[in-house]
């Protein structure tokens, strides 16, 4: 019998939005952890919400880019125990491909949002470089 306290696991969703000319949408985080670093749009899955719906909601909230949940293609689940310094976070990651130069606007907890060339990315928060790499393999 295990006497350890059960681990609290939090559920999140992230979105890799790429363009047909090989750019990816990143947000600059306004909050810790990793405040000021670049990351994929995403966040917590709310009670009663699917991860796909959360991904679409977070994308709109942070970048003003709207997609329906059905437009998002699941990349995979990322659950390394140390992927987030706040504790155990499991994320379902999704992909959306759009035409170049769609207008974006940083909102909510993002202080900036920009299109970055996939071959010239800044250092990324969490394991977001691994998530982006998963779409390139």
**Tens digit of pLDDT at every position of the chain (137 positions):** 456 889 999 999 999 999 999 999 999 999 999 999 999 999 999 999 999 999 999 999 999 999 999 999 999 999 999 999 999 999 999 999 999 989 999 999 999 999 999 999 999 999 999 999 999 87
Q: Which CATH architecture has domain 9-136?
A: Alpha-Beta Complex (3.90)
Delimit the domains of the chain by residue range.
9-136
- By CB atoms closer than 10 A (0-12, 13-18, 19+), residue 71 is middle
Closest C-alpha among 80, 19, 5, 11 to residue 43: 11
What is d(CA 43, CA 108) in angstroms, rounded to the nearest whole number?
A: 11
The SS3 call for residue 7 is: coil
pTM of the model: 0.94
- Burial class of residue 68 in the structure, from the number of CB atoms within 10 Å of its CB (0-12 exposed, 13-18 middle, 19+ buried): exposed
């Amino acid at each position: 019998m295990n006497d350890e306290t059960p681990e609290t696991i939090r559920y999140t969703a992230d979105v890799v939005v790429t363009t047909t000319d090989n750019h990816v949408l990143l947000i600059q985080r306004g909050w810790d952890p990793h405040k000021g670093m670049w990351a994929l749009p995403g966040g917590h899955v709310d009670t009663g919400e699917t991860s796909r719906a959360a991904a679409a909601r977070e994308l709109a909230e942070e970048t003003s880019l709207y997609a329906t949940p059905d437009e998002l293609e699941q990349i995979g689940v990322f659950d390394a125990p140390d992927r987030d310094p706040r504790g155990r976070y499991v994320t379902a990651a999704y992909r959306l491909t759009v035409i170049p130069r769609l207008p974006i606007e940083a909102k909510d907890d993002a202080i900036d949002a920009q299109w970055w060339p996939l071959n010239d990315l800044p250092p990324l928060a969490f394991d977001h470089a691994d998530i982006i790499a998963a779409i390139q393999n």
